[in-house]
């Protein structure tokens, strides 16, 4: 990959930008709610549902927006659509910063943030699928380290800044960096290697597995008639739902378990520290999962990922009042594996099943359908929390994970669409 100097330059630029894509996608999709929810609840007395409703409504719009993104990426190119969306995302962060008690401005800004993180995710996914085949898993493993990095760095920094100088500065800084990220993407990145006069992986020739692949279109009717599509939708739809539910209510769960000795609460006193320690240990798992994907295939890597989800959910389901150091370390490791693993594996397994050329055509429908239950993940947690039964929600998440695990096992014999260009083709 790095032998071709021109390709190597684009590859390194993409990996750096990709880490920031995933960092802000993860942080602005759900992680930042861990700071907003306690702050707004304590400062203005807003209820959980009032705080999170803009996210739920945004999640409903995202169902359609996935289709819009997918179609726009194909028609205009990834970067041409991604860049203006990212600029507006940064401006929406400014809106949250300036809202104060103005609920209308807060709601519109948070709504836009929830919707406009989608091009960061889908754009990063499609750029990786376009530029890499043989090294796809490992490159995704590198860039998706940005997601757990937000757990290590972002949440702690946001909490510190919010507690010291307030929410406003936190969101102004994030918005400014997001706008700079858009400028860097516009000036430094191409949508496909062919746009730069190159081939995927820096190869000298077009991909072997695509020479006879003329059609790049998959209709909704065709996709819904395929068992492999539903297997992808169910397995990764569940994992995405669990991530959003988990990440949005970590702080609330820990605060509810605070003892008198935990000042100001268990989240700040202990959990953030162990989140950082455990997440640092878990960050390399994004690359490990990518390596497993490249060497043994996406189905085996997906199975490992699903098992790692249990490390994140079980500790929060059984965590005692005052916390438990071993459980918090296991939880933090699981969170890092979870938040880095799904962004790594979702595009990989979709490319595995449908191939590079058909990836976006299939992915736009798959992610649109997955977005329907995903839109209600925060409301799911809010409802249980308002009812005083947050622990029950975690047990239900575990049941969902068992379903996704079984679904992945049923995918075992699905072949790799780009097998001729993958590592196992050389064995």
Q: Give residue-wise pLDDT tens across range 296-351.
A: 999 999 999 999 999 999 999 999 999 999 999 999 899 888 888 888 899 999 99
Average pLDDT over the chain, rounded to an integer: 89
Please state, in angstroms and rounded to a whole number, the distance separating the CA atoms of residues 373 and 366: 12
Please state, in angstroms and rounded to a whole number, the distance separating the CA atoms of residues 48 and 379: 9
Structural contact between residues 201 and 3, judged by C-beta atoms closer than 8 angstroms: no
Two structure tokens written together for 153: 């760095």
Least confident range from 104-108, 185-189, 227-231, 261-265: namely 261-265
Per-domain boundaries in the chain: 5-195+217-426
Calculate the alpha carbon distances from 342 to 347, 348, 414 in Å: 9, 10, 19
pTM of the model: 0.81
Closest listed residue to residue 182, CA positions, set 81, 101, 71: 81
pLDDT at 216: 66
pLDDT of 30 > 80? The answer is no
What are residue 132's phi and psi, to 5 degrees? -135, 140
pLDDT of 427 > 50? The answer is no
pLDDT of 213 > 80? The answer is no
Two structure tokens written together for 325: 């150091």
pLDDT at 264: 86
pLDDT of 17 > 90? The answer is yes
Contacts of 82 (CB under 8 A, 6+ apart): 73, 119, 120, 123, 182, 185
Task: Report the length, in residues, of the chain.
Answer: 427
- Residue 375 DSSP code: T
Least confident range from 26-40, 190-204, 371-385, 404-418: namely 26-40
What percent of the chain is predicted at pLDDT more than 90?
57
Closest listed residue to residue 109, CA positions, set 70, 154, 51: 51
pLDDT of 380 > 90? The answer is yes
Instruction: Give pLDDT tens digits for 215-258.
Output: 567 888 999 999 999 999 999 999 999 998 998 888 899 999 99
Least confident range from 23-32, 64-73, 297-306: namely 23-32
Instruction: Give pLDDT tens digits for 149-168.
Output: 876 777 777 777 777 777 78
Contacts of 141 (CB under 8 A, 6+ apart): 286, 287, 288, 289, 290, 291, 293, 340, 344
Residue with tokens 């790799």: 416
Strands (E), 327-427: none
Structural contact between residues 37 and 252, judged by C-beta atoms closer than 8 angstroms: yes
The separation between CA 276 and the C-alpha centre of its own chain, rounded to angstroms, equals 18
pLDDT of 147 > 90? The answer is no
Structural contact between residues 34 and 247, judged by C-beta atoms closer than 8 angstroms: yes
Helix (H) or strand (E) holding 8: helix 5-26
Is the domain spanning 5-195+217-426 CATH 2.60.40.10? The answer is no
What percent of the chain is predicted at pLDDT more than 70?
96
Q: Would you put residue 319 in left (φ > 0), alpha (ψ -120 to 50) or beta?
A: beta
Two structure tokens written together for 220: 């909704």
pLDDT at 403: 98
């Amino acid at each position: 990959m790095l032998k071709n100097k021109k390709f190597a330059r684009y590859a390194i630029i993409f990996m750096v930008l990709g880490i920031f894509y995933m960092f802000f996608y993860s942080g602005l999709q759900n992680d930042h709610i861990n700071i907003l929810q306690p702050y707004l609840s304590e400062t203005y007395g807003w209820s959980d549902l009032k705080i999170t409703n803009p996210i739920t409504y945004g999640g409903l719009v995202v169902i359609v927006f996935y289709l819009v993104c997918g179609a726009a990426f194909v028609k205009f190119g990834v970067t041409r659509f991604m860049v203006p969306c990212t600029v507006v995302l940064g401006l929406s962060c400014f809106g949250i910063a300036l809202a104060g008690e103005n609920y209308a401005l807060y709601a519109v800004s948070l709504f836009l943030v929830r919707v406009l993180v989608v091009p960061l995710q889908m754009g990063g996914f499609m750029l990786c699928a376009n530029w890499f085949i043989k090294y796809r898993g490992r490159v995704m493993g590198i860039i998706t380290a940005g997601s757990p990095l937000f757990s290590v760095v972002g949440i702690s920094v946001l909490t510190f800044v919010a507690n010291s100088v307030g929410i406003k500065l936190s969101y102004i800084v994030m918005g400014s960096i997001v706008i700079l990220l858009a400028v860097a993407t516009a000036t430094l990145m191409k949508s496909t290697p062919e746009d730069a006069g190159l081939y995927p992986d820096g190869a000298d020739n077009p991909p072997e597995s695509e020479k006879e692949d003329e059609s790049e279109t998959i209709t909704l009717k065709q996709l819904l008639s395929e068992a492999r599509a539903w297997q992808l939708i169910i397995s990764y739809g569940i994992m995405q739902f669990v991530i959003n539910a988990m990440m949005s209510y970590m702080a609330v769960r820990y605060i509810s378990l605070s003892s008198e000795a935990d000042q100001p609460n268990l989240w700040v006193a202990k959990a953030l520290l162990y989140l950082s320690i455990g997440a640092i240990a878990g960050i390399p798992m994004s690359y490990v999962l990518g390596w497993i994907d490249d060497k043994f295939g996406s189905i085996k890597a997906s199975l490992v990922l699903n098992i790692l989800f249990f490390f994140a959910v079980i500790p929060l389901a059984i965590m005692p009042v005052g916390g438990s150091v071993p459980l918090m370390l296991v939880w933090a490791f699981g969170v890092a594996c979870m938040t880095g693993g799904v962004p790594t594996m979702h595009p990989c397994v979709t490319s595995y099943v449908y191939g590079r050329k058909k990836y976006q055509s299939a992915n736009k429908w798959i992610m649109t359908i997955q977005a329907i239950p995903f839109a209600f993940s925060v409301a799911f947690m809010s409802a249980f929390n308002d009812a005083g039964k947050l622990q029950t929600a975690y047990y239900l998440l575990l049941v969902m994970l068992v379903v996704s695990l079984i679904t992945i096992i049923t995918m075992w014999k699905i072949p790799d669409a780009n097998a001729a260009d993958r590592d196992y083709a050389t064995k």
